[in-house]
Structure 1
Amino acid sequence: MTATQRPGVIDCLVNVHFGETAKQPEFMLKVRDDYFKGPRSLYDPVELPALLDEMDEHGVARAILMDNLAKPSVTARKFVAARPDRFSLAMGGINLLRPVPALRELAALSVDLPVTYAVVGPSFWGDGMYPPSDAVYYPLYAKCAELELPLCVNTGLPGPPIPGEVQNPIHLDRVCVRFPELKLCMIHGADPWWDVAIRLMIKYANLRLMTSAWSPKRLPESLLHYMRTRGKNKIIFASDWPVLRQSRVVPEAQALDLPVDMLDNYLYNNADEFFFGGGRQQKGSAL
């Protein structure tokens, strides 16, 4: 592949819904001010032309926008309707304590909308009481495997001051044993358990890791070594925009000490294969 034919970037986690909330929860303000030290405008509403301009400037061909079953994002669905060639959805907000109606809705939306993956954050619901190995997740795992819908699970200590032990990737060990058919991706890195995450990916063919919310220049050398060796198809790029802007993280990623083919895998090919491979995404309409 020549330089002019390089595939560009897929940004696998973009938040356009923050501006829909008149008053952010206290923990979100703490994340902005204390953890990421972001500007006060971080959670302002976003306009479609501005996002497309940033994507075009940095070669981002497609972005996956966060959505929510319990509180649908008007902005995300509007952007998908306007530009189905550039956007698809990641669906969270799944009530695991009342799984049957929630999973029926997830299945229906996966037919009607371009839902690329489902997502759950163990620290962010149930007061952080349920690790991913708990049976409360099993209906979700079974339904995603049945739908051939990838599932992303937050791993690593979360930024907000909430319990984090449930996001230790070791809890996915039993999940991968019991659900080998499930396409599973750890998101938001795995700090401070990077080596556990890497060992699990070596062990299980169905497991990936997304570096959303991580500045590429801050990624540990152990992960970069894995990307150069046994993990060529395992690590997936994402920004967590606007927490980290594409204007920052795409150039940082392109500056990593990775061979060109492995950098293309990280920025585009691995996501294209894992999330969009086999034409599954085309089953959904644009709205």
Structure 2
Amino acid sequence: MPRNVIDCLVNVHFGETVQQPAWMLAVRDDYFKGAASMYEPVDLDALLDEMDEQGVRKAILMNSISNPSNTVVKAVQAHPDRFTMSMGGFDLLRPVAHLRELTAMVADLPISYATVGPSFWGYGQYPPGDAVYYPLYAKCAELELPLCINTGIPGPPIPGEVQNPIHLDRVCVRFPELKLCMIHGADPWWDVAIRMLIKYPNLRLMTSAWSPKRLPDSLLHYMRTRGPNKVIFGSDWPVLSQRRVIPEARNLDLPEQVLENYLYNNAQEFFFATTPDAQHHEQEQ
């Protein structure tokens, strides 16, 4: 059974918002049936305890360039061996200042990827093939920084069509140098996402915000056959706890090496760019 896990999508910033908007409350109450504590301030020691309990060696914490989280920064500074961060919140209609800032941040901070959710900005008007994203794509490719894009119909009551993974088809063609990852699954377009993963070597899929026991058989079959190196684990903690989703992942009907890739190796290779020898050494420690 795989010993190590990298959790590639963890939220610790929710508690910094005084009042969550109505649509975020709807996600918690109506979609995930979550506890009221989902949006409360995070106890980092409790998170670390949960990580230790579940074998999570590293976690990538969500952050925003337009609304930076003090909790994320403090966590990364206090525990650089356990936490890195992702960076979202870009103003894609006026991108230059944010992309300059991203360049400076990547040089100074442990940023593992940039992120954007097409349904979550611009009123869901811009699919990822729109040229408004191109400066971000070009900058991430230049920095060799992976970019994660939400795919699948989102939980909040906001437009979802822009998150159909078919919109990434043109992106992968035009930016083959860009390391691109679909996040939050791809429901109900799993088969489209799988076909895209087969087609493009620079594309990955993260199952964040998905209970592993709810993953479709088609994805598990792909992982066992053509895609053992293409699918990456993430919890979306605290929306889904590590105590829930990591045991579910370990119980999936997957060969041990495929499961180890899913929980650790694929993230290590894609987000942390460790050489194979260094990766093997780290796992043996």
Equivalents in 1 of 2:85, 2:107: separation in Å?
12
Name 1:191's counterpart in structure 2: 187
* Residue number in structure 1 paired with 2:280: none
Aligned to 2:86: 90
Instruction: Tell me, in whole angstroms, the C-alpha distance in 2 between the residues paired with 1:49 and 1:165.
Output: 39
1:55 aligned to 2:18?
no
Gaps of 5+ in 2: 276-285
Q: Distance in 2 between matches of 1:112 and 1:196?
A: 37
Select 1:251's aligned residue among 247, 252, 270: 247
Distance 2:51 2:72 in 1: 15
Question: Aligned ranges for residues 135-284 of structure 1 at < 5 Å?
Answer: 135-278=131-274
Provide Cα deviations, 1:71-96, integer angstroms capped at 9, x if missing partner: 00100110000000000000000110
Q: What is the CA distance between 1:22 and its match in structure 2?
A: 1.0
SS in 2 for 1:68: coil
Q: How many residues align?
A: 275
Does the alignment pair 1:125 with 2:121? Answer: yes
Q: Distance in 1 between matches of 2:171 and 2:16?
A: 34
The CA deviation at 1:272 is: 0.2
* Displacement after TM superposition at 1:112 (Å): 1.1
CA distance in 2, matches of 1:247, 1:62: 15
Shift of 1:278: 3.8
Query: Where does residue 282 of structure 1 map in the other structure?
Result: none
Q: Which whole-Å CA distance do the structure 2 matches of 1:270 and 1:186 have between them?
A: 14
> 1:110: which partner in 2?
106
Structural mapping, 1:4-83, within 5 Å: 6-83=2-79
TM-score (norm 2): 0.95
Q: Secondary structure at the match of 1:186?
A: strand
User: Contact 1:7/1:268 (CA < 8 Å) preserved in 2?
Assistant: no
Note if contact 1:35-1:159 (Cα within 8 Å) is conserved in structure 2. yes
How many Å apart are 1:7 and its aligned residue? 4.7
Structure 2 Cα separation of the partners of residues 260 and 232 of structure 1: 11
Q: Distance in 2 between matches of 1:188 and 1:263?
A: 18
2:130 maps to which of 125, 128, 134: 134
Partners in 1 of 2:266 and 2:95 — Cα distance?
30
* Contact kept in structure 1, 2:268 and 2:274, CA below 8 Å: no
Amino acid at match of 1:143: K
Using the TM superposition, give the Cα deviation of residue 48 of structure 1 relative to its aligned residue in structure 2, in angstroms.
Answer: 1.4
Measured on the aligned residues, the alpha-carbon RMSD in Å equals: 0.8
Distance 1:275 1:40 in 2: 32
| Matched position secondary structure for 1:54 | helix
Give the distance between the partners of 1:106 and 1:237, measured in 2 at CA.
25
Give, in angstroms, the shift of residue 36 of structure 1: 0.1
CA distance in 1, matches of 2:137, 2:249: 31
SS in 2 for 1:174: helix
Amino acid corresponding to residue 17 of structure 1 in structure 2: H
What secondary structure is seen at the aligned counterpart in 2 of 1:146? helix
Find the residue that maps to 1:11 and give its secondary structure. Answer: strand
Distance 1:114 1:184 in 2: 18
> What is the letter of the counterpart of residue 62 of structure 1?
K
Q: Deviations over 1:16-52 (max 9, x none)?
A: 0000011111111000000000011111111111000
Q: Secondary structure at the match of 1:239?
A: coil
| TM-score normalised per structure 1 | 0.95
**Distance (whole Å) between structure 2 residues aligned to residue 117 and residue 217 of structure 1:** 26
Q: For each residue in 1:149-208, what CA deviation from the matched residue of structure 2 results, as whole angstroms up to 9, or x when unmatched?
A: 000000000000000000000000000000000000000000000000000000000000
Aligned residue type for 2:201? A
Q: What letter matches 1:276 in structure 2?
A: F
